[in-house]
Structure 1
Amino acid sequence: MIAAYFHGFIYKDEKRIREWLKAEGLSNDKIDKIVQVAWESQKKEIPGTLEGKILHDAHMIEGGKTFLIVKSLITGSVRGQTLEETIEYIEKNILGKGQCYLTEAKEIYAEQQKFAREFIRDLKEGLE
C-alpha cells in the first residue's frame, strides 16, 4: 500500500522517498521493496512482483472505460494543445499501447482501449 502513495512521483523523488521512509523507521529491505513496487507500477514497466503487477494494473485501468480519453483530453487542454494535437498524441502514445498482467485487468484494459479507439474514430469523423 505504501508504494501506491509514491507511484505518481517515484521517478522524480526516489532519493527523498527513501530518506523519508528511513526516517519513519522502515528497514532497508522494506524500503527497497516499496521502491521496487512503486517503480513497477509505472505504465511502461514490466512488473516482476505480484504487488507490482497489482499496482501496475490498477494504474493502467484506473478510472474505468472512459478514463484514457477523459484524462488525455484534459491533459492536452492543460498543456495548451489543440484538439488535433491531443488526438495525435492519443493515437501515437495510448491506442494499442500498454499492457496488463492480471487476467481481470486485461479485460478491463481491453474495454478502455476499444472505447478509446472508437471515440477517437468518431471524433475525427466529426471534425471532417
Structure 2
Amino acid sequence: MINKIITTAWESQKDRSAQTLEGKILHDAHMIEGGRTYLIVKPLITGSLRGQTLNQAIKYIEENILEKGCCYLPEAQEIYNKQQEFAESFIKELKDGLSI
C-alpha cells in the first residue's frame, strides 16, 4: 500500500509521466486545480514574492506555462485547454497594456 501511495504521488507531479490510473487522475487534478485564472495568478504571486518584476513574471509564464503541459483524461484536457486560452489572452492584453 505504501509503495502504491508513493508511486501515485510521484506520478502526479506535473513534469512526470504517469503510468497508473491513480497517478493520471492526481496528475490531471494538479494541472487543472484553481480554475481558469490559476495559470496566471499563481506565477504572478509567486514571482512577486520572489522579487521578480512584472516583465520577468510574464517572461516566465511565456517560457514555462503557455503551451506547456497536458492532461491524460479528455475531460481534464478540455478544462486545461480553457485555462491555457485564458492565460494566453490575459498575457497578450497585459503586454499590450505595458507596451512590451
In the alignment, structure 1 residue 68 sits paired with structure 2 residue 68: no
Q: Which amino acid counterpart does residue 94 of structure 1 have in structure 2?
A: I
**Residue 73 of structure 1: CA displacement?**
0.6
**Residue 111 of structure 1: CA displacement?**
0.3
SS in 2 for 1:64: coil
Q: After TM superposition, which residue ranges in structure 1, 4 or more long, deviate above 4 angstroms?
A: none
- Distance in 1, matches of 2:85 and 2:93, equals 12
Structure 1: unaligned runs, 5 residues or longer: 1-29
SS in 1 for 2:66: coil
Q: Which amino acid counterpart does residue 89 of structure 2 have in structure 1?
A: E
For 1:101, the equivalent position in structure 2 comes to 72
Deviations 1:65-122 (A, max 9, x none): 1000010110110111000000000000000011100011000000000000000000
Q: Where do 1:25-64 residues align within 5 Å? A: 30-64=1-35
Q: What is the root-mean-square deviation of aligned Cα atoms in Å?
A: 0.5
Q: Which has the larger radius of gyration?
A: 1
Seq. identity, % = 68
State the TM-score, normalizing by the size of structure 1: 0.76
For 1:111, the equivalent position in structure 2 comes to 82
State the TM-score, normalizing by the size of structure 2: 0.97
For 2:52, the equivalent position in structure 1 comes to 81
Structure 2: unaligned runs, 5 residues or longer: none
